A = this chain, B = another copy of it.
């Protein structure tokens, strides 16, 4: 899980009172974790963003496309995944409110993506394209610092997940996911969670019944 949510409680309060927060309030709070923006800078940044949305089951991105945007989810839940050569689905991350997502490799290198991004719920997000992303660093150099910190946190999470994938059993990984991302776990299906954990839904089901018998 790359995106590094600012704060679970912020997200929970949003759940109960979504209309009070605009999508921009959420993204500014996210950015304020690492840098402070002046009112002018906020306006400029806002002008670099585009609003997007997708209904449940709609695709936000398809493999083969050159990734145009990085996404910041303001409502709903996106699933980022790919298919291996046997057609088996592998989920790279779930992005809920306050998470950044996209295909970073494709966005950075402008090579075709190998990922699908699909909305699991009716979703809304803010998007920044490659030109604006580059421009951002020219206009507001502080953003170098923001992204340096964002990527730093993401890396720590990825390193952890890589090592877990190698060192732990599926059951252990499942338990860790439940305790670390409970608010994600109860929004997604077991099938999708299995695809994130790297196991079959049948085996996840077995794990669950084994665990409940203890």
A residues neighboring B (CB under 8 Å): 2, 82, 84, 88, 90, 92, 104-105, 108-109, 137, 141, 144-145, 147-148, 151-152, 154-156, 158-163, 165-168, 198
Selected from B84, B156, B158, the residue in CB contact (under 8 A) with A162 is B158
This chain's copy number in the assembly: 2
Across the interface, which residues of B come within 8 angstroms of A151, CB to CB?
Answer: 148, 151-152, 154-155
Besides A151-B155, A162-B165, 19 other CB < 8 A contacts? A2-B159, A84-B167, A90-B163, A92-B159, A104-B152, A104-B155, A105-B159, A105-B160, A108-B156, A144-B145, A144-B148, A147-B148, A148-B148, A151-B154, A154-B155, A155-B155, A158-B159, A158-B162, A165-B198
* Minimum CB–CB distance for A203 against chain B, Å: 14
Nearest-CB residue, chain B, relative to A160? B105
Q: How far is the CA of A159 from the CA of B154 in the complex (A)?
A: 10
Q: How far is the CA of A161 from the CA of B156 in the complex (A)?
A: 14
Q: How far is the CA of A158 from the CA of B145 in the complex (A)?
A: 21
* Minimum CB–CB distance for A58 against chain B, Å: 23
Q: How far is the CA of A31 from the CA of B50 in the complex (A)?
A: 33
Across the interface, which residues of B come within 8 angstroms of A84, CB to CB?
Answer: 167-168
